[in-house]
């Protein structure tokens, strides 16, 4: 595309790190783009960094909109929430019916559903698009998850495919589905990301406290793992973190960072909707909870002085334990992805998204934060059967899971005995052990619920819903008037 008669092909609202870098990426691919930000210095920075002469910054919204070709295509990359609605309302009087709006931020999927319906009544095309890859991904090639108005996506498809990350020459972008499906998939992506980050941090702690390894040795392990089957973006950056020292310092920057984790909410959203859909994701839940728990620093310090902490090393052979730890991490990684994919499967059915899970796994293989070698296994599993009920039913994944179970059991038992917390590891194993448990103890929960609240239960081999007056030892079929003596 080119800038014809002074008109630009594409507009970007919000020239922060992500918006500016995505627009620079487009400029590199020949897209004539206009960027708008109230802060004029951000538009100036955009023009300074543009080496192709394809981009222009604006600080006046009327001039920005007027600079775009019709029908206009505008992406918003602004903070999620009310700001998105405010930007939309400011834009609408300046737009014409048939123009395209794209929300590229991390909006909650219910907000996107509302905006889809609202803008359709106004005669505008709209779709929400998850964008993953951070600053570098936006600049060099992100993974993108557009969902909503398919007609609008098809108009934007050439640009999006041009700027996306490529794996084996295939762009890491695909049409996800109707409504808010794009933002929903990005939300679950972020939930998996939470899980993997917590698992890596627990791995770090067991090496540091349990094996009492120094930073250099820990960094070498992460580097070694990233060169093998645990290869992933998160493992790669963790390896880099363990090599970074500020100029003039003799210790890692990591050792000076507070142990209080922040979050923007997408992990919490994933946990909340998973509970609504009754799709358990305990590894991701544990990751969200541990970020929250980390914020109670003063309380943690106080309690550490009351309850003794065992600082003695694990009584293990280090080399053998590290082999088990690699197996354990691989197992927990499988569980984190499996939980996320199962949630996507449930949402696809519940919200009529019609998700193609193989395509989602395929576009996650490059550009995004959770890209990893294991995504090839996930892609293969769902390419064989897009209706696969659960990732753990795939034969290839079954083999990998069974091979690594001994590692997780050994690592967890030793860490728990030593008082080293590994909640996401434990949640992963608990998820697996109960998912393969054909007789859970939930029958007792049903009996308890019926005892104190007359909530009823069902019986094995008998039709009907039952309630017992437990003190009288009698059973009745609810609403039938039929009673049976025990």
The 10s digit of each residue's pLDDT in 74-102 is: 999 988 889 999 999 999 999 999 999 99
Predicted local distance difference test score (pLDDT) of residue 4: 43
Secondary structure letter of residue 473 according to DSSP: T
Position 2 pLDDT exceeds 50:
no
- Digit-coded pLDDT (tens) for 407-453: 999 999 999 999 999 999 999 999 999 999 999 999 999 999 999 99
Domain containing residue 471: CATH number:
1.20.5.320
Q: Could you say which of 56, 69, 186, 209 is catalytic?
A: 186
Tell me, yes or no, whether 413 lies in a domain: yes
Domain containing residue 73: CATH number:
3.40.50.720
478 is catalytic: no
Q: Do the bridges between strand 143-148 and strand 166-167 make them parallel or antiparallel, or are there none, so unpaired?
A: unpaired
Tell me, yes or no, whether 1 lies in a domain: no
Q: Which two tokens stand for residue 270?
A: 């994933």
Q: Which run of H or E residues covers position 148?
A: strand 143-148
| List of residues 6+ apart from 228 with CB closer than 8 A | 326
Of 138, 153, 179, which closes a domain? 179
Predicted local distance difference test score (pLDDT) of residue 379: 97
Per-residue DSSP letters for 182-215? HHHHHHHHHHHHHHHHHHHHHHHHIIIIIS---H
| List of residues 6+ apart from 402 with CB closer than 8 A | none
Position 476 pLDDT exceeds 80:
no
* Dihedral sign from CA coordinates of 296, 299, 302, 308: negative
Cβ neighbours of 402 (radius 10 Å): 10
Tell me, yes or no, whether 67 lies in a domain: yes
- Digit-coded pLDDT (tens) for 331-349: 999 999 999 999 999 999 9
Tell me, yes or no, whether 233 lies in a domain: yes
**Same domain for 374 and 455?**
no
186 is catalytic: yes
Kindly give the residue spans of alpha helices, DSSP state H, lying in 351-439. 357-363, 375-384, 395-417, 423-435
**Same domain for 278 and 355?**
yes
Distances (CA, A) of 37 to 40, 50, 73, 306: 6, 16, 16, 52
Kindly give the residue spans of alpha helices, DSSP state H, lying in 122-180. 134-140, 150-163
Q: Could you say which of 56, 193, 209, 268 is catalytic?
A: 193
**Burial, 68: exposed, middle or buried (Cβ in 10 Å; 0-12, 13-18, 19+)?**
buried
Question: Measuring CA to CA, which residue among 4, 13, 103, 17 is closest to residue 57?
Answer: 13
Tell me, yes or no, whether 468 lies in a domain: yes
Domain boundaries, position 354: 185-435
**Burial, 479: exposed, middle or buried (Cβ in 10 Å; 0-12, 13-18, 19+)?**
exposed
457-469: buried (b, 16+ CB within 10 Å) or exposed (e) per residue?
beeeeeeeebbbe
Total of domains in the chain: 3
Q: Which run of H or E residues covers position 35?
A: strand 33-36
The percent of residues in the chain predicted with pLDDT above 90, rounded, is: 88
Distances (CA, A) of 12 to 23, 101, 125, 139: 7, 10, 16, 14
Question: Which residues does residue 483 pair with via DSSP β-bridges, in sequence order?
Answer: 476
Domain containing residue 399: CATH number:
1.10.1040.10
The percent of residues in the chain predicted with pLDDT above 70, rounded, is: 96
């Amino acid at each position: 595309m080119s800038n014809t008669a002074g008109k630009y092909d594409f507009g970007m609202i919000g020239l922060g790190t992500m918006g500016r870098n995505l627009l620079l990426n487009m400029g590199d691919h020949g897209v004539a783009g206009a960027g708008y930000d109230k802060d004029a210095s951000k538009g100036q920075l955009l023009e300074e960094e543009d080496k192709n002469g394809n981009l222009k910054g604006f600080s006046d919204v009327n001039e920005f909109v007027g600079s775009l070709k019709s029908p206009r295509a505008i992406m918003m990359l602004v903070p999620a929430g009310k700001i998105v609605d405010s930007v939309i309302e400011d834009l609408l009087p300046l737009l014409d019916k048939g123009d395209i709006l794209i929300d590229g931020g991390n909006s909650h999927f219910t907000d996107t559903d509302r905006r889809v319906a609202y803008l359709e009544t106004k005669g505008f095309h709209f779709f929400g698009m998850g964008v993953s890859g951070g600053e570098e991904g936006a600049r060099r090639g992100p993974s993108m998850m557009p969902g909503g108005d398919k007609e609008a996506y098809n108009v934007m498809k050439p640009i999006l495919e041009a700027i996306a990350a490529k794996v084996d020459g295939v762009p890491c972008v695909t049409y996800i589905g109707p409504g808010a499906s794009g933002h929903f998939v990005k939300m679950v992506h972020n939930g998996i990301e939470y899980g993997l980050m917590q698992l890596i941090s627990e791995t770090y702690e067991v090496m540091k406290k349990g094996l009492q390894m120094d930073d250099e040795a820990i960094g070498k392990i992460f580097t070694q793992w990233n060169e093998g089957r645990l290869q992933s973006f998160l493992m790669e950056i963790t390896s880099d973190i363990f090599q970074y020292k500020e100029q003039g310092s003799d210790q890692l920057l990591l050792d000076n960072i507070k142990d209080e984790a922040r979050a923007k909410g997408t992990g919490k959203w994933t946990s909340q909707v998973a509970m609504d859909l009754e799709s358990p994701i305990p590894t991701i839940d544990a990751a969200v909870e541990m970020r929250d728990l980390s914020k109670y620093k003063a309380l943690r310090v106080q309690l550490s002085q009351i309850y003794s902490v065992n600082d003695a090393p694990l009584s293990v052979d280090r080399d053998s334990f590290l082999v088990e730890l690699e197996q354990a991490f691989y197992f927990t990684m499988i569980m984190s992805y499996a939980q996320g994919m199962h949630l996507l499967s449930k949402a696809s059915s519940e919200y009529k998204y019609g998700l193609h899970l193989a395509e989602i796994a395929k576009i996650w293989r490059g550009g995004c934060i959770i890209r990893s070698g294991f995504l090839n296994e996930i892609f293969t599993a769902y390419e064989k059967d897009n209706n696969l009920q659960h990732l753990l039913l795939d034969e290839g994944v079954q083999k990998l899971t069974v091979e690594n179970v001994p590692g997780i059991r050994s690592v967890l038992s030793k860490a728990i005995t030593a008082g080293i917390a590994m909640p996401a590891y434990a949640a992963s194993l608990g998820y697996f052990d109960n998912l393969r448990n054909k007789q859970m103890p939930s029958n007792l929960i049903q009996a308890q619920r019926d005892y104190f609240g007359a909530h009823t239960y069902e019986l094995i081999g008998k039709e009907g819903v039952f309630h017992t007056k437990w003190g009288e030892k009698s059973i009745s079929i609810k609403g039938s008037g039929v009673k049976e003596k025990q």
